[in-house]
A and B are shown apart, each in its own frame.
Chain A
Amino acid sequence: MIKVENLKKSFGRLEVLTGIDLEIQKGESVVVIGQSGCGKSVLLKHIIALLRPDEGSVVVDGQNVFELKHVDLMDFRKRVGVLFQFGALFDSMTVAENIGFCLKESLHMKPQQVKQIAEEKLALVGMKDVGHKMPSEISGGMKKRVALARAIATEPDIILYDEPTTGLDPISADMINELIVDVNKKLGVTSIAVTHDMASAYKIADRIIMLYEGKIVWDGTPDQIRQTDNAIVKQFITGSSTGPITVH
């Protein structure tokens, strides 16, 4: 279980998170929606302690991740898979080496086993036979899929997806959505996905929360969100430029 309490974070004078409270049950799939720049990625980075808050805590299975000792933090992170917003593939390594990186460097698996898992995950995301390519040689959509393969390579019990479908064509996007649903159900993982693609949100979410001006302004199931009267949420999910949300 993940419990975020009163999380606050500013960068200089820019207040990004102004008090986030959120509880996620084991096995639940939560989607975080919100405008670009509202702090979705910042929230995700706090969950694995890549960023430290000004105030507040993130408690996972009873442990505050910001108070973990270095070795314990390392162990905790091994349980978490992350798909970064822009893939964040290591550009000095091949696709297969990227997928095997954590297995090799962190879990110290044998090369043979690493290779086998990399091939298996590549096949799973429909990218057989590209293992030897460098990230610079594949398209944006393919990078996202490789990043997904890398995030699930260690079979983690928590997965964080940062905009897994942004910038993909609708068919590739749907394929990624199916994969995420599949992984979440099959492995019983707890997942948090950030997106502003509503089709994706409806497909993968057990629960949708919306971030607005540093706070959570909505929390509910996909069915509830479709029927909401909340003007902010309504404007966002229908994609309208007029309403309470203004674009700066």
Chain B
Amino acid sequence: MDEHSPVFDLRPTTLISGLGRLSLMLGRTLLAFRYFFSSLHLVVNQMYHIGVKSIWLIMITSVFTGGVSAWQAAYQFKNYVPIRYLGGAVGKAVLIELAPVLTALVIAGRVGAGIAAEIGSMKVTEQIDAMESMSVDPIRYLVMPRFAAGIIMLPIITALADFIAIFGALLVAVSLIGVETETFMNGFKQLFTLSDFFSGLIKATAFGAIISMMGCYHGFFTSGGAQGVGASTTRAVVSSAVMVLIADYIMATLLFRI
């Protein structure tokens, strides 16, 4: 693996070779899941880095996401829709769209960048070569645990984001818009379905896969020195964000039939 790989260089040849390498890496990562249990300590360590360390960030972004969606919904409802639907509308928006997507974008910035920078600097300082020279497969040791942790942790922190965002919406609705707590909650319960909640988590799982894979992929194909690491980090974040939004659209059309 000695050439660098721009995924968003849209010339057909580089795009195709980039996609080829990406699928190869994904395939090898999936195969490495046979070492999942023997590498559990590595997975848990990554779960901590990806998930637990993101909790505060997610709490802050979620409470504001919920708050602003309550405020904006109330603004759009004005004179047309009774305010008792506020809880339902906000709840649905948060569960199926806002919490999964915004969490993914925030995590792409924090975790995707971190993974790309870490693996990228290991690559340019020959630590990856050193690992291979010691017969340790970097896909098993570095990529699989990050990929697994991404898939496991994104739905969990998205569920947390769901909860906090709805709490934030409730807070704004009650204290600034003047809706009764009970009215808000009744509206929420009326429209709430478990399938919405789980559909949001399914999306989050896919986003976790995208973010961790993009981080690893761009990290792995870093070349040059510190500058190369910086470029890979940027590419990891940008490509995750774009792919999250595209995947979101595709999954929305599959999961939510109109």
Is A91 in the interface zone, CB < 8 Å from B?
Answer: yes
Which residue of A11, A51, A88, A92 is within 8 Å of B130 (Cβ)? A88
- The distance in angstroms between the C-alpha atoms of A246 and B135, with both chains bound, is 39
Q: How large, as a class, is the contact surface on chain A?
A: 20 to 34
- What are the residues of chain A within 8 A of B126 when measuring CB–CB? 84-86, 88
- The distance in angstroms between the C-alpha atoms of A90 and B121, with both chains bound, is 10
- The distance in angstroms between the C-alpha atoms of A111 and B201, with both chains bound, is 39
Is B134 in the interface zone, CB < 8 Å from A?
Answer: yes
Is B132 in the interface zone, CB < 8 Å from A?
Answer: yes
- The distance in angstroms between the C-alpha atoms of A188 and B253, with both chains bound, is 66
- The distance in angstroms between the C-alpha atoms of A86 and B2, with both chains bound, is 18
A11-B2, A105-B141 known; A86+B125 contact, CB < 8 A:
yes
- The distance in angstroms between the C-alpha atoms of A88 and B121, with both chains bound, is 11
Which residue of B118, B121, B130, B141 is within 8 Å of A84 (Cβ)? B130
Size of the chain B interface, CB-CB below 8 angstroms: 17
**Does the CB pair A48–B134 fall under 8 Å?**
no
- What are the residues of chain B within 8 A of A74 when measuring CB–CB? 135, 137
Which residue of B121, B122, B135, B141 is within 8 Å of A77 (Cβ)? B135
Is B133 in the interface zone, CB < 8 Å from A?
Answer: yes
- The distance in angstroms between the C-alpha atoms of A50 and B123, with both chains bound, is 13
- The distance in angstroms between the C-alpha atoms of A101 and B127, with both chains bound, is 12
Which residue of A77, A92, A101 is within 8 Å of B132 (Cβ)? A77
Which residue of B118, B121, B127, B134 is within 8 Å of A102 (Cβ)? B134
Most chain A CB inside 10 Å of its own CB: which residue of B118, B127, B141: B127
- The distance in angstroms between the C-alpha atoms of A51 and B137, with both chains bound, is 15
- What are the residues of chain A within 8 A of B2 when measuring CB–CB? 11, 51
Is A80 in the interface zone, CB < 8 Å from B?
Answer: yes
Which residue of B118, B125, B133, B137 is within 8 Å of A82 (Cβ)? B133
- The distance in angstroms between the C-alpha atoms of A25 and B126, with both chains bound, is 28
**Does the CB pair B132–A50 fall under 8 Å?**
yes
A11-B2, A51-B2 known; A105+B127 contact, CB < 8 A:
no
- The distance in angstroms between the C-alpha atoms of A11 and B132, with both chains bound, is 21
Contacts from A to B (Cβ < 8 Å): 11, 45, 48, 50-51, 74-75, 77-78, 80, 82, 84-86, 88-92, 101-102, 105-106
Closest CB pairs A-B (n = 7): A102-B134, A88-B126, A88-B130, A74-B135, A106-B135, A82-B133, A77-B135
**11 A-B pairs in the complex with CB atoms less than 8 angstroms apart:** A77-B132, A77-B135, A82-B133, A84-B129, A85-B126, A86-B125, A90-B127, A90-B130, A91-B122, A102-B134, A106-B134
